[in-house]
Amino acid sequence: MSLRQIRLGRGAVCVTELAFGAAGIGNMGSMVTDPEAESTVDAAWASGMRYFDTAPHYGLGLSERRLGAALRRFAREEYTVSSKVGRLLEPVGFPDGDDLANGFAVPATHRRVWDFSASGVRRSISASLERLGLDRIDVVYIHDPEDHARQALDEAYPELERLRGEGVVGAIGVGMNQPELLTRFLRETDIDVVLLAGRYTLLDQRGLADLLPLAAERGRAVVIGGVFNSGLLADPQPGATFDYAAAPEHLVTRAVEMKAVCEKHGVPLRAAALRFPFGHPAVTSVLVGARSAAEVRDAVALHNNRVPAALWEELRERALLPPGVPVPEEDR
C-alpha cells in the first residue's frame, strides 16, 4: 500500500499525506509495551506511512527511543522523521512517581525545562539524535513557543538555520495550537512548514483566517494535527472532550448534528473530520496519533473513505460549515 508523497514547501524534504504521530507510543495517557509500540510502527509502515513525528516531550524521550528502534530496520532514505525543540529533559536525582500530570504514563525520571536558546536547541537536537539513533533529523519543529516568542524568533530559529546549513536538520518548522504566532513566523522567517493542531477542523477553522492563505501565498507547507479535537469529533456525546477539556454543550450539539449528516450520506464522522483539512491547498499532510496496529489501520481506512460532495453541501446548507470553507477537490 502507498500514500501520496508531497514535498514540504520549497525544500527537498518529502512527507506522506497521512503522517504517524508517535505520542501514543510514548505512553500518552496509558502504558503501551515495547512490542505493541513496534507493531504499531510496523502497521504504519505497511499502510504506506513514511512520515513519523515525535518529540522529547512525549513520554520523557520514550517516544523517540521507541520510534528510532522500530525504524532502524528500514532504509534511512525511505522515511522522514520530525522531532521538536523547546523542552530540554534534565535527569531527576531521585525519581519519584510518574509523569501522568503531564499526560504520560512513564516514571518521572526527568523534568522538562523550557529553553529556546541557541545552545538549548543544540543540546536538544543532540539528545534527540542519540535517542532516535540517527545522524540527522529531517524536520525540526520549534515546539509550543507561545510564552517564549521573542527567544524562539531571535535564538531558536537562527540556530536551526545554521543546523539546516550543516545538514543536521533538513527542514525547519514551528508547531503549536494557535495560528497567530505561526502566522508571525511565516511572515518573519524562512521556515519550511508549520504544524497547526486543532485549529483547522470541522469544528474550528481559526487557521483559515490568516495562516493558511499566507502559507499558500508563500509556498510553505502546513501539517494539520488534532483533527478530532481531542475526542469530540471521534465520538460526539455528553462528556466528550474538546481540546483536552470537557466539551461545551453547544459544541457537543454541533458535533452530533454533523454526525447525523455524515451518517445520512454513509460516511463516518471521523472520516469526514480526517478528510476535511485536505480541502485547502496549503495543507500537505494530516498527522494522526496511534498507539496500536488496529488504530493505524483504522486511520488509513478513514483516510481512504472518500466524502461525497453532497455531504459537504449539506453541512453548509445547515450552517454547520461556513460557506467559504474549501473542501477536498477529489471529493467534489
327 part of a folded domain: no
Tens of pLDDT, residue by residue over 123-153, are 999 999 999 999 999 999 999 999 999 999 9
Residue 1 is predicted with a pLDDT of 57
Is 58 noted as a catalytic residue in this protein? yes
Nearest 5°: the CA angle 115, 118, 124 is 55
**pLDDT tens-digit profile of 309-322?**
999 999 999 999 99
Is 3 within a domain? Answer: no
Identify the sign of the CA torsion 2, 14, 136, 83.
negative
Does residue 19 belong to any structural domain of this protein? yes
Q: Give the pLDDT confidence score for residue 9 in this predicted structure.
A: 86
Q: Which of 51, 58, 141, 200 is catalytic?
A: 58
pLDDT at 330: 59
Question: What is the number of structural domains in the chain?
Answer: 1
Average pLDDT over residues 12-41: 97
173 assigned to some structural domain: yes
Tens digits of residue pLDDT in 101-123: 999 999 999 999 999 999 999 99
Centre a 10 Å sphere on the Cβ of residue 160 and count the other Cβ atoms it contains: 27
The 10s digit of each residue's pLDDT in 168-225 is 999 999 999 999 999 999 999 999 999 999 999 999 999 999 999 999 999 999 999 9
- Show the cell assigned to 160: 536551526
> Is residue 127 a contact partner of residue 161, using CB atoms and an 8 Å limit?
no
Domain that holds residue 40: 15-322
Average pLDDT over residues 7-29: 95
Q: How far apart are alpha carbons 201 and 134 in whole angstroms?
A: 33
- Scanning the chain, the segments in alpha helix (DSSP H) are 34-46, 62-71, 118-132, 149-151, 157-166, 179-188, 211-218, 249-264, 269-275, 293-303, 309-317
What's the one-letter identity of residue 156?
Answer: A
Q: What is the CATH number of the domain that holds 194?
A: 3.20.20.100
Q: Determine what percent of the chain falls in helix, strand and coil, rounding each to the nearest 5.
A: 45, 20, 35
pLDDT of residue 332 exceeding 60 = no
Question: Average pLDDT in the 232-245 region?
Answer: 91
